[in-house]
Homo-oligomer: A and B are copies of this chain.
Amino acid sequence: MDTLTARKLSKSGAMKVLNVALAAAESLNCAVSVAVVDDGGHLIAFGRSDRAELYSVAISQAKARSAALTRFPSGKKSPTGNERDDHHAIAITLAAGAGSFVTIPGGFPLMSQGECVGAVAVSGAGHKDVEIAQRAAAALDN
């Protein structure tokens, strides 16, 4: 066959994920940016809490892009804590071009029936970024 079919994240699916993340942040008293991207890393939905720090606008999008293009949560690529992993990740980041990838946690692939259809990422809430993004990722297809 000359073509394949693939699932694509819809606007309404992305908005559902976005709203779950923004509500989760509010319930944790956090001000965040939330980015939802498609399987190519392109933005579908974005929202920023009142008084969220502005750096989170860029960071959330970079995390989401990283998670979508690796089909893996953003952050270290191995759980070993090996310092070399960090340096390797930074090197990959540099090679991929400034602004494209980040190696900090808070981005998660969005899976639908076993396929990666995009990613969601949260920035601005420190170590709670992960919890908020995970809750949002879990909302898809539920």
**Residues of A near any B CB (own CB < 8 A):** 1-16, 22, 33, 38-50, 53-55, 57-59, 62-63, 66, 68-71, 83-84, 86-88, 90-104, 112, 117, 140-141
Decide if B69 touches A2 in the complex (CB within 8 Å).
no
Instruction: List chain B residues, Cβ under 8 A from A45.
Output: 46-48
- Quick one: copies of this chain in the complex? 4
Decide if B16 touches A2 in the complex (CB within 8 Å).
yes
Q: What's the least CB distance linking A75 to chain B, in Å? A: 9
Instruction: List chain B residues, Cβ under 8 A from A66.
Output: 55
Q: What's the least CB distance linking A118 to chain B, in Å? A: 9
| A70 to B57 alpha-carbon distance, docked (Å) | 11
Partner of A41 from the list B3, B5, B40 (CB cut-off 8 Å) is: B40
Instruction: List chain B residues, Cβ under 8 A from A15.
Output: 47
Partner of A3 from the list B49, B55, B71, B112 (CB cut-off 8 Å) is: B112
Which chain B residue lies CB-closest to A62?
B95
Instruction: List chain B residues, Cβ under 8 A from A1.
Output: 10, 12-13
Residue with the highest number of chain B CB atoms closer than 10 Å, among A7, A68, A96:
A96
Q: What's the least CB distance linking A26 to chain B, in Å? A: 10
